[in-house]
Amino acid sequence: MTTSHDLIVLGAGSGGLATAIRAAQHGARVALLDPAALGGTCVHRGCVPKKALWFAAQLAQAQQLALEFGFASQPGPLDGEHFRGLRQRYIDAIEQRYATHLAQAGIQVVPQAGRFVAADTIELTDGERLQAAQIVIATGARPRRLELPGFELGMVSDDVFDLSVLPHRIAIVGGGYVAVEFACLLQALGAEVDLLAHGPLLQGFDAELVQALQQQMETQGIRVSLKSSVQAAHRTAEGISLDDAQAGSRGPYDALLWAVGRVPNTEALGLDAVGVKTDEHHHVLVDALQNTNVEGIHGVGDVTEYKALTPVAVAAGRCLADRLFGGQPRAHLDYHNIPSVVFAKPPLGMVGLTEQQAREQYGAEVSVHHRRFIPMQWALVGKQDRSLMKLVCVGDEERVVGIHALGPGVEEMLQGFAVALKLGLHKRDLDATVAIHPTSAEELLQMG
């Protein structure tokens, strides 16, 4: 049996949900396929549970800072079971809201996987077939697993959220978002952390601010190695030990986290059967309009080669639905100047070009402005860690092409500055703006 729709969406994560809901708002008949829970990685294994853990880490820090401010309360450990219950209740509510919204929009939710049998036809797990002129691949990505001896002794990021008791000693292998964030969060909650990376941390962020973040991480007690090459893991009587080609044996550890990248969920989709092209990492190749090389098949979100961020997937999906069903034939996401934040301790945010990228593109036209300062809440108790703000500008008019910030609160303050940059911000605009005092954000307005 074959059922017809206007649109089939494979995957009910952020990108798939956004695409399906916007298309239905335009009057399209939509089927949304996913055998897993609504919300995908972001809601269940990514942004939402990670941010909840970040809040817990912030509160752990705040307990200690409160003592230094003069409060009498003593810091205590996190009740893991209580915290997990709070977090799960919040996640369940999000999933329920999605289910309600999908029902109200008239979207057919199919809790099964699907694969292509033709460019306009998807076969479900139970053998039923769905047909549509437009099909969107939004199946997301999952943690990469390596063919290394003892890999199974460690966790991947999905597993961290299942922990009821946090490890005392943990090794984290990797140097990207996931590795740095979990290193900071687990250390703040009481773990001893070794962060083992093969090269520089957080490639793609401004190197100067990354170095400043690394220094603060090391000051807090995180042991960072940038020349590590883990070849194997072993279970011993004392815990988990690692064979490092650069440093020999490491450990023992109570736990091990592999944070070595993510891979797109494309292998079970039958893409070869319809000729959809992928890159060497199996991402679905799409153009600026989210089209694959096959007419009527599109891709959004982490399954593509574009930046793997929830707001990117959402925006791309909505633009695609507007183009296909909303009478907006050129609607597409502008992938330039997308802000992002690493929820480290302290957080690191950026929008636009790094200094290196700007110099490669504009050469001698680049000018850079800095501001280093001790945030007031730290200065009051004599702490010496510094926030760092940086503007990357171009030309005599000093058009701002990059804004970078490290320190408490930057995860919130950067959003407004990102809007300004998107609209063509110049440094003179910042100079002419009256600051809110006393704040850390005002430092971006007061650079010489």
In a domain, residue 208? The reply is yes
Q: Are residues 134 and 13 in the same domain?
A: yes
Output the domain CATH number for residue 425.
3.30.390.30
The C-alpha atoms of residue 258 and residue 173 are separated, in whole angstroms, by 5
In degrees, rounded to 5, the angle at the alpha carbon of residue 157 between the alpha carbons of residues 346 and 47 is 55
- Amino acid identity at 118: A
Residue 22: strand, helix, or coil:
helix
Residues in the chain where the model's pLDDT stays below 50:
none
Same domain, 284 and 424: no
Q: Are residues 200 and 110 in the same domain?
A: no
SS3 of residue 314 by DSSP = helix
Question: Structural domain tally of the chain?
Answer: 3
In terms of domains, do 315 and 354 share one? no
pLDDT score of 344:
97
The pLDDT tens digits for 264-309 are 999 999 999 999 999 999 999 999 999 999 999 999 999 999 999 9
Tokens representing 308 are 């793997």
Nearest to 366 by CA among 376, 375, 355: 355
**What pLDDT was estimated at residue 180?**
98
* Number of Cβ atoms within 10 Å of the Cβ of 288: 11
The helix, strand and coil proportions of the chain, stated in percent and rounded to the nearest 5, come to 35, 25, 40
Q: How long is the chain?
A: 448
Q: Same structural domain for residues 192 and 274? A: no
Q: How is the beta sheet containing 169-173 ordered, strand by strand?
A: 223-225, 192-196, 169-173, 255-258
SS3 assignment, position 107: coil
For residues 80 and 193, state if they share a domain: no
Compute the distance between CA of residue 7 and CA of residue 4 in angstroms, rounded to an integer: 9
Alpha carbon distances (Å) from 11 to 118, 136, 266, 405:
18, 9, 11, 34
Q: Which long-range contacts (CB under 8 A, 24 or more apart) does 128-131 make?
A: 128/1, 128/2, 128/3, 129/1, 129/2, 129/3, 130/2, 130/3, 130/4, 130/5, 130/8, 130/31, 130/33, 131/2, 131/3, 131/4, 131/5, 131/8
How far, in whole angstroms, is CA 370 from its chain's centroid?
26
**H-helix or E-strand containing 317?**
helix 310-325
Query: What is the reported pLDDT for 164?
Result: 83
Q: Is 338 left (phi over 0), alpha (psi -120 to 50) or beta?
A: beta
| SS3 category, 236 | strand
Who's near 426: CB < 8 A, 6+ residues apart? 393, 397, 398, 399, 400
* pLDDT tens per residue across span 131-151: 999 999 999 999 999 999 999
Q: What is the DSSP letter of 435?
A: P
The b-or-e profile of 226-253 (16+ CB within 10 A means b, else e) is eebebeebeeeeebbbbbbeeeeebbbb
Handedness of CA 39, 347, 439, 420 (dihedral sign): negative
Please give the Cα distance from 210 to 203 (Å, whole number): 9
Per the CB < 8 A criterion, the answer to whether 268 and 277 are in contact is no
- Given 44, 281, 426, 437, the catalytic residue: 437
Q: Is residue 341 part of a domain?
A: no
Residue 76 has what pLDDT? 85
How many CB atoms lie under 10 A from the CB of residue 23?
29
Q: 6 and 138 share a domain?
A: yes
Name the H helices within 32-176.
40-45, 47-69, 80-105, 157-160
Coil/strand/helix, residue 305: coil
Q: Which H or E run includes 394?
A: strand 387-394
For position 54, which CATH number holds? 3.50.50.60
With H, G, I as helix, E, B as strand and everything else as coil, classify residue 436: coil
Question: Do residues 78 and 204 both lie within one domain?
Answer: no
Task: Tell whether 6 is covered by a domain.
Answer: yes
Residues 242 and 365 in one domain: no
405 is in which domain, residue-wise? 346-445
Q: Please, are residues 99 and 109 in contact by the beta-carbon 8 Å criterion?
A: yes
199 and 249 within one domain = yes
Catalytic (active site) residue 44: no
Residues 9 and 48 in one domain: yes
Backbone angles phi, psi at 4, to 5 degrees: -100, 145
**C-alpha distance across the termini of the chain, in Å:** 69
128 and 33 part of one domain: yes
